[in-house]
Amino acid sequence: MKTFGKFFIGAVFGFFIVYAFLDLEFGVTILEIAYELTWILGGVSLILLVLAMIGMLQIKRKASSSLEGEEEDVRDKWQYQKFSDVSLAGNSSMIFSIITLSIVLVTNQEILLAIFASILVMLTGASSFVMPYLLKVMYPERDLPEASDKDYTKKLLASSDEGERHVMLEGLYYTFNSTNLLLVGAMIILTVYSVSSEHSQLFAIFIIGLILITINMQYILKIRNK
Amino acid sequence: MKTRLKELRARDGLNQTELAKRTKVSRQTISLIEREELMPSLLIAMRLSHIFDEPIDNIFIFKEEDLV
């Protein structure tokens, strides 16, 4: 009952906020600031890529030093956290580069910018293939799959122990719930933007809807068939 | 569930990474068990029991109400 109450209050507030936004008119649309956005997002992507590469080198350097006692634990903890940071920087860099390339292509910008954005996408994509190698550097004694292995994700999950799976389950379940919420939020924002700017985002709304249905179906089918 | 893992590890002069290698798990798993955030499987409990030469119920202490 308490949850229903919160949901109801949220829905009422949400309705009035969206209703108020629908009356607003966006003075500037994405199309008008596309050139600036290309440089900003491309720059952010490049910075994140450089940070990820620095992190990779730091991990590789530290992994080769032989330590004992408490120092070995401290190094392992540092490596684990650094690997997470590098993964986040690398993945974010790839997403920013894809957005940059999309903006360049959609808004018909200079060919040089298109080449720059394409190279950025390729570099960030290539950096994600370094991650499995990095894991092998960090844990040489473990039987980890090669990046080129078929069913890499499945094999990586199989080689994880119960503690790692426990941590992953917590993280993924939280992420799954927030993905559902954020994508619904994105649909609302796109609707508001479409109405206010008179630039239809219906296709994007439709795709997000399909993604929502797909991920929920995948999750339910996965747990239902066990 | 309470655990004496950290105390036993200190007794035998083992760091988390070494204990993890001997138990054939990751250091994260040892750390989670020590922080009482993860109840280990029977296999890992048996391995720990073997490493420390202590019975399982001397490493993991359950309250009476957990067992009934």
The minimal CB distance from A161 to the residues B18, B26, B37 is found for B26
| Arithmetic mean of pLDDT, B5-32 | 92
Q: Which of B14, B23, B29 to mutate to test the interface with A (most CBs of A within 10 A)?
A: B29
Start-end of H helices in A129-161: 130-138, 152-158
The minimal CB distance from A70 to the residues B15, B21, B41 is found for B15
The number of helices, as runs of H, and strands, as runs of E, in chain B is 6, 2
Alpha carbon A181 to its chain centroid, in Å, reads: 15
Helix, strand, coil % in chain B, rounded to nearest 5:
60, 5, 30
| Arithmetic mean of pLDDT, A177-191 | 94
Residue type, position A217, single letter: M
Measured distance CA(A66)–CA(B9) in Å, rounded: 21
Helix/strand/coil for A145: coil
B32 touches chain A (CB under 8 A): yes
User: Interface of chain A against chain B, CB under 8 Å?
Assistant: 68-70, 72-73, 76-77, 80, 139, 141, 160-164, 166-167
Chain A residues with CB inside 8 Å of B21's CB? Answer: 141
Chain A residues with CB inside 8 Å of B27's CB? Answer: 73, 76-77, 80
* A115, pLDDT greater than 90: yes
The minimal CB distance from B28 to the residues A68, A70, A163 is found for A163
**Cα separations (Å) of A216 from A82, A175, A182, A191, A223?**
31, 13, 14, 22, 11
- The model's confidence at residue A7, banded by pLDDT at 50, 70 and 90, is low
Condensed to tens digits (0 to 9), the pLDDT of residues A127-172 reads: 888 888 888 888 888 888 887 788 888 888 888 889 999 999 999 9
Chain B residues with CB inside 8 Å of A76's CB? Answer: 16-17, 27
Report domain extents, chain A. 31-145
- pTM for the model: 0.77
- How much of chain A exceeds pLDDT 70, in percent? 87
Tokens of A21: 């936004």
Measured distance CA(B33)–CA(B20) in Å, rounded: 11
| A/B interface, count of CB pairs below 8 Å | 46
| CB atoms A73 and B16 under 8 Å | yes
Measured distance CA(A145)–CA(A107) in Å, rounded: 41
Q: How many domains does the structure of chain B reveal?
A: 1
Angle, vertex CA A106, rays to CA A101 and CA A108, nearest 5: 95
The ipTM (two decimal places) reads: 0.84
What is the domain-level CATH number for residue B62? 1.10.260.40
B48 touches chain A (CB under 8 A): no
Residue type, position A19, single letter: Y
- How much of chain A exceeds pLDDT 90, in percent? 50
Start-end of H helices in A64-201: 69-106, 111-128, 130-138, 152-158, 162-197
Tokens of A82: 């650094």
Q: Which parts of B1-68 are beta strand (E)?
A: 2-3, 60-61
Q: Give A189 to chain B, closest Cα distance, Å.
A: 39
- CA-based nearest residue to A198, from A15, A17, A27: A27
Measured distance CA(A114)–CA(A126) in Å, rounded: 18
Nearest CA in chain B to A162: B29
B14 touches chain A (CB under 8 A): no
The domain of B18 spans: 2-66
